[in-house]
Amino acid sequence: MLLRLAPLALVAGLCLTGPASAADYAIDTKGQHAAVNFRINHLGFSWLTGRFDRFSGTFSYDDKAPETSKVAVEIETASVSSNHAERDKHLRSPDFLDVEKFPKATFVSKSVTPAGDGKAKIVGDLTLRGVTKEVVIDAAYVGGGPDPWGSTRAGFTGTTKIALADFGIPKDLGPGSKEVELTLDVEGIQK
């Protein structure tokens, strides 16, 4: 029911402002300054939320040529967490993520189109449950520059929606729960 891309995560919003020149970044999962979160409507009554706890990735960003930016994220699907052990067990089952058969989900960007005001559209391939589909992440630059520990960082946020059926998720959760909304927040440390 999720994916993410990731982030996931993906993300890396790569937009129009940021560090002074082209640079490569590793997503800061060691300090956990990144998140791949999701939400899906529950019976039309509320939102069920969750996240993926383990993922990794990189992005490159050039504020002078943001359209050349790239992002790649890998998510461990078994790390799904919705703050409910029995539900998480079900999410890991063949009804949803089938983590035994598909332990990883990935996102690899194909293009970045600046949209003005620090925003961009990131088009890329999301692979989940062995199915690869093109998705679009609406991304935005959050901030960047030197950190207190002598490194340079850049941060982005992004959102997208995916349809469960597009990725072969067989569980039908009802008419209001056909899509999962993903929110991807990443902070990268320059390599």
Band (2; pLDDT cuts 50, 70, 90): very low
The answer to whether residue 9 sits within a structural domain is no
CATH number at residue 88: 2.40.128.110
The answer to whether residue 98 sits within a structural domain is yes
**pLDDT per residue as tens digits for the range 34-88:** 999 999 999 889 999 999 999 999 999 988 889 999 999 999 999 999 999 999 9
Q: What percent of the chain has pLDDT over 70?
A: 89
The answer to whether residue 16 sits within a structural domain is no
- Residue-range definition of the domain harbouring residue 101: 23-190
The answer to whether residue 93 sits within a structural domain is yes
- Does 93 score more than 60 pLDDT? yes
The answer to whether residue 2 sits within a structural domain is no
**pLDDT per residue as tens digits for the range 101-149:** 999 999 999 999 999 988 999 999 999 999 999 999 999 999 999 999 9
Count of domains in the chain?
1
The answer to whether residue 166 sits within a structural domain is yes
The answer to whether residue 3 sits within a structural domain is no
Taking residues 97-101, report their average pLDDT: 98
- Does 12 score more than 50 pLDDT? no
Q: Give the pairing type, strands 55-61 and 23-27.
A: antiparallel
What per-residue confidence (pLDDT) applies to 191?
94
Q: What percent of the chain has pLDDT over 90?
A: 79
Band (17; pLDDT cuts 50, 70, 90): very low
The answer to whether residue 183 sits within a structural domain is yes
What per-residue confidence (pLDDT) applies to 166?
97
What per-residue confidence (pLDDT) applies to 21?
61
Three-state SS sequence of the chain: CCCCEEEECCCCCCCCCCCCCCEEEEECCCCCCEEEEEEEEECCCEEEEEEECCEEEEEEECCCCHHHCEEEEEEEHHHEECCCHHHHHHHHCCCCCCCCCCCEEEEEEEEEEEEECCEEEEEEEEEECCEEEEEEEEEEEEEEEECCCCCEEEEEEEEEEEEHHHHCCCCCCCCCCCEEEEEEEEEEEEC
